[in-house]
Amino acid sequence: MGPVVMAIALVVAFGAFAFSAYRRWGLVTIGAPADRFDRPWDRLKAVLSIAFFQKKLPKYEVMGPIHMVIFWGFLVLLVNSLILWGRGFDETFNLWILGDNPLGRLYHFMKDIVTVLVLVASGLAILNRLVLRPARLTASVEAQLILLIIFVMMIADLHYWGWQLSREGVAAFNWREPFASLVAAHMSGMDPGTASTIGTISFWAHSALVLLFLNLLPYGKHFHVITSFPNVYFSNLGPAGRLPKDANIEKMLKEEDLDEEVFGVSEIRHFTWKDLLDMYSCTECGRCTDNCPAAKTGKPLKPKTLTCDLRDHLYSSGAELLSGKAGKKPLVPAVVDPDVLWSCTTCRACEEECPVMLSYVDKIVRLRRDLVESRGELPPELAKALRAMETNSNPWNLSPMDRGKWAEGLGVPAFDPAEHELLFFVGCMASFDDRARKISLALVALMREANVTFGILGADEQCCGETSRRAGKESLFRMMADANIEAWKELGVKKIVTACPHCFNTFKNEYPEFGGSYEVMHHTELLARLVADGKLAPRDKVEHKVVFHDGCYLGRYNGVFDAPRQVLRTIPGLELAEVKTSRERGLCCGGGGARFFMEEHGERVNRLRVDELMAARPHTLASACPYCMTMLSDGLKDKDLFDVNPQLDVAELLAVSCGLEPRKILKETEAQKA
């Protein structure tokens, strides 16, 4: 009866799985189009690095390697399952390349070692969930069941192969299959009937459990076992800082008829098929939530929960969606609370941690677009800032004629492509905020010292539109971007330097999609190059212990981690310290994603970040973003640390070491003017 039972089991199990997979495939196809079929070689490399070699998992020093053992063990033991299914028809079956030959002997040795490793790893994973219970993990019967299935399968494997070895006469330790041979040694002393019963039960236990496991996959978080590889393959290969265009905004700007009066995402079907594949692929590991600044400070946003809520809604609406009868029920607030969306700082810490390359920021921003563009629902203070941007091209509603006031008396020229190598784009913060203006003064002094030819736009400079775009006001962003691109085309702008990472990211990664391609540098990149070329020579000692804060839009978005540190390391006397949460894992200051212009309730992100940075006991906090500077300075003031621990930009520290302390320059200039 063995062959009959095995045939029935395989047909029923694979048939049931095919039915479930077909329904899941159908749900993916309801999503909007997404072009993810370019650059196949780069996509394959990403699959090898991230999906196969599990590049991101070692960030968690214990559970990361444990998961890697289970994953790689799964791949090795998949061949073992094929052998066992074959033996259901013929007990001597073996894959022809794995018979009694060197390759076969090597495989059986590896399989034996891997079986024990997976047994230990799954046991530790069960212990982690039942006893340690880290906050990032949600209590889950499914997760425990899957781990228990794996654990039992490994025990069954050892006993089945031990039985096979005992039948071959193995009665002692044997290097061919070291652990199975120990089981064989034990079984050889048993009654043959008892040993046969144990071996047979073990055989069917593995064969049945792997089929049960297969059919559980489409109905829980372990679906990622199947979907993670294609999800990584189709992940975004473009700049991390680039948000997707909105098709209806495009049509509106071109005065074309809209397919429907929806901007962004209102319903689940407005997400792309890749977004829906993301939802299938979430491992529910909680690494995203564990590193989210909003979640860390008790805000409503929990990235893992957001993805799971959307996925559960997709599943529960599946029948209606597939029949085309789904009602037009907005996701917000039915599935997602608006406060969840407005809690996001768009820092991308969640995306940096995700082991299977889920995206979060683009989904959150597109949900914001629906609220802002379609419904006009947004926090009042943010609405005020957006109106100011629309009226006076800055979020404080100050006169655009005052943009160049910071440079009065300094002789900073208006940009002329015939004379100047660089356009220095100052940005709203460094144009209007008294503290941030000092960054501009320091950078001007350094560029002059290095004989860099540059000019500014002064009153003709307009906001880059970044805040508007992250807030969901895509139409306003497009107006600003189009205006800047057109103006710079007439001016002949080719190269841009800016001290604002938000402007830097916008010009470098987002403007090219709208026809504005430039060579864009962050000021720390320019300064690092000038120091390396010997055009700037730090000489005066700055005997401070300094810790550098990695701004999200400079670091995680654009990978600029080394340039600011290279500059700081060239300053004599300066000791550069690092904290655990730095570089890719640097915590957000709390000001990104338009949060700078919104009220924050409860524990403040900037205070938490200050606590992390002060753990290094520095004299000075260094940054390279005017928004970060303000947020960190406020955090220091809240803790009565500001007078002892100033917050300085990298350019200011370098200017001091080069004998160009910007406050002195300003005083001398004012005296000359008087």
Question: Euclidean distance between the first and final Cα of the chain, in Å?
Answer: 105
Same domain, 355 and 392: no
Report if residue 530 sits inside a domain: yes
Q: SS3 letters for 464-496?
A: CCHHHHHHCCHHHHHHHHHHHHHHHHHHCCCEE
Residue with tokens 């003064």, as numbered in its chain: 441
Same domain, 388 and 376: no
pLDDT for 53 = 93
Same domain, 369 and 390: no
Q: For residue 621, what are the β-bridge partners?
A: 547, 647
pLDDT for 668 = 45
Same domain, 121 and 182: yes
| Average pLDDT score, the chain | 92
Report if residue 287 sits inside a domain: yes
* Per-residue pLDDT reduced to its tens digit, 178-195: 999 999 999 988 999 999
Closest CA to 346 of 472, 231, 497: 472
What CATH number has the domain bearing residue 139? 1.20.950
- Domain count for the chain, please give it: 3
Region class of 85: left (phi > 0), else alpha (psi between -120 and 50), else beta: alpha
Q: Tell me if residue 463 falls in helix, strand or coil.
A: coil
* Per-residue pLDDT reduced to its tens digit, 445-462: 999 999 999 999 999 999
Same domain, 491 and 578: yes
Report if residue 244 sits inside a domain: no
Distances (CA, A) of 648 to 448, 497, 596, 611, 666: 20, 19, 19, 17, 17
Report if residue 235 sits inside a domain: no
Closest CA to 497 of 550, 548, 443: 443
Query: Is it the case that residue 671 has pLDDT exceeding 60?
Result: no
Q: Is the dihedral of CA 401, 407, 412, 418 positive or negative?
A: negative
Report if residue 46 sits inside a domain: no
Report if residue 653 sits inside a domain: yes
Distances (CA, A) of 535 to 165, 263, 489, 504, 542: 74, 49, 30, 23, 19
Closest CA to 74 of 112, 105, 45, 114: 114
Domain boundary among 328, 353, 380: 380
* Per-residue pLDDT reduced to its tens digit, 105-129: 999 999 999 999 999 999 999 999 9
Domain boundary among 362, 380, 398: 380
pLDDT-based confidence at residue 674 (cuts at 50, 70, 90)? very low
* Among 156-170, 466-480, 631-645, the least confident range: 631-645
Q: Tell me if residue 337 falls in helix, strand or coil.
A: coil
pLDDT for 173 = 87
Same domain, 549 and 567: yes
pLDDT for 664 = 53
Contacts of 396 (CB under 8 A, 6+ apart): 385, 388, 428, 432
Same domain, 126 and 262: no
Percent of all residues in the chain with a pLDDT value above 90, rounded to a whole number = 82
Query: Is it the case that residue 398 has pLDDT exceeding 60?
Result: yes
Q: What is the pTM of this model?
A: 0.93
pLDDT-based confidence at residue 26 (cuts at 50, 70, 90)? very high
Rounded Cα–Cα distance for residues 213 and 153 (Å): 11
Question: Mean pLDDT over residues 65-85, rounded?
Answer: 93
Report if residue 233 sits inside a domain: no
Question: Mean pLDDT over residues 407-416, rounded?
Answer: 92
Question: Mean pLDDT over residues 469-498, rounded?
Answer: 96
Question: Mean pLDDT over residues 257-286, rounded?
Answer: 91
Domain boundary among 319, 347, 380: 380
Query: Is it the case that residue 482 has pLDDT exceeding 90?
Result: yes
Same domain, 191 and 90: yes
Q: Tell me if residue 50 falls in helix, strand or coil.
A: helix
Let me know the angle formed at the C-alpha of 332 by 373 and 26, rounded to the nearest 5 degrees.
Answer: 100
Same domain, 315 and 336: yes
Q: Count Cβ atoms below 10 Å from residue 356 Cβ, excluding itself.
A: 21
Same domain, 282 and 356: yes
* Among 35-49, 139-153, 503-517, the least confident range: 139-153
Let me know the angle formed at the C-alpha of 389 by 383 and 395, rounded to the nearest 5 degrees.
Answer: 75
Question: At 39, which amino acid appears?
Answer: R
Let me know the angle formed at the C-alpha of 454 by 451 and 458, rounded to the nearest 5 degrees.
Answer: 145
pLDDT-based confidence at residue 431 (cuts at 50, 70, 90)? very high
pLDDT-based confidence at residue 1 (cuts at 50, 70, 90)? low
* Per-residue pLDDT reduced to its tens digit, 299-346: 999 999 999 999 999 999 988 888 887 777 899 999 999 999 999 999
Q: Is 78 exposed, middle or buried (0-12, 13-18, 19+ CB in 10 A)?
A: exposed
What CATH number has the domain bearing residue 367? 1.10.1060
DSSP secondary structure of 426-460: --HHHHH-HHHHHHHHHHHHHHHHTT--EEB-GGG
Residue 631 domain boundaries = 384-673
Same domain, 513 and 623: yes
pLDDT for 644 = 65
Rounded Cα–Cα distance for residues 490 and 227 (Å): 48
Question: Mean pLDDT over residues 184-213, rounded?
Answer: 93
Rounded Cα–Cα distance for residues 78 and 98 (Å): 13
Report if residue 575 sits inside a domain: yes
Structure tokens at 344: 């996001």
Same domain, 308 and 164: no
pLDDT for 672 = 40
